[in-house]
Amino acid sequence: MVKVAPSVLSANFAELKKDLDMIKACGADWIHYDVMDGHFVPNISFGYSILKDISKVTDMYLDVHLMISHPMKYVDEFIKAGASLITFHVEAMANETSTRELIQHIQNQGIHVGLSIKPTTQVDEIEKYLDDVDLVLVMSVEPGFGGQSFQHQAIDKIRKLHSLKNGRHFIIEVDGGINAETGLLCKEAGVDVLVAGSYVFQADNCQKAIDSLK
């Protein structure tokens, strides 16, 4: 069954603990934590200190999505803060050597590593890393903001990644504009994890919203 990872970007930060307890009770599998630096993306969210506080009050799997330039500089802080998985963007890396180094570096700390592609980046560009990563995150919106509309080219990328799995261990996650309808298209294409921000947090009944994604 598909996993659902609500994005805390859409939570009420003044009531964060309450919102985290709520999504857990509603059946969320992971917490998706969107880090934005105002440089790699045109928006700023939060850094590792809030993650540290979150990890103290939840036992949920912490799925950290770094939308930042120079991820190598900051990953250790996110690992120390309790990340279960760190996903970085291939577009933030200078070359193949630094990308491979960062994948290795994160795995060496004993946590999972993911690689993400923006809507304009093709699967071909990350095919060479598929033996080494635990997760590929397909962005179905331009990273930077919650509440945008799903871009359908993500479906073909998910399908392609699914066909490239044969024996490899990575799983596929999709992020941006996910609701019951777009989530179903992604599931049919072979996705393993659905990130959903506004659809879950703005729902009157988050359990119904999460059930409809599963």
Which residues are known catalytic residues? 34, 175
Q: Is residue 89 involved in binding ligand DX5 (CB under 6 A)? A: no
Give me 56's structure tokens.
């103290």
Task: Give the whole-angstrom CA distance, residue 136 versus residue 114.
Answer: 5
Task: Give the whole-angstrom CA distance, residue 82 versus residue 60.
Answer: 11
Task: Give the whole-angstrom CA distance, residue 20 versus residue 18.
Answer: 5
Between residue 168 and residue 187, which ones bind Zn ion under the rule CB under 5 A? Answer: 175
Which residue in the set 19, 35, 37, 65 belongs to the binding site for ligand DX5 (CB under 6 A)? 65
Classify residue 127 as left (phi > 0), alpha (psi -120 to 50) or beta: alpha
Cα 115–41–66 angle (5° rounding)? 35
Question: Largest Cα–Cα distance of the chain, in whole Å?
Answer: 47
Give me 19's structure tokens.
């919102």
Residue 38, marked binder: no
Residue 198, marked binder: yes
Here's the x/- map for Zn ion, 40-79, by CB under 5 A: it reads as: -------------------------x--------------
Q: Residues marked as binding for substrate?
A: 7, 65, 144-147, 175-177, 197-198
Binding site per annotation, positions? 7, 32, 34, 65, 144-147, 175-177, 197-198
The site for ligand DX5 (CB under 6 A) is made up of 7, 9-10, 32, 34, 65, 67, 141, 143-148, 175-178, 195-199
Footprint of Zn ion (CB under 5 A): 34, 65, 175
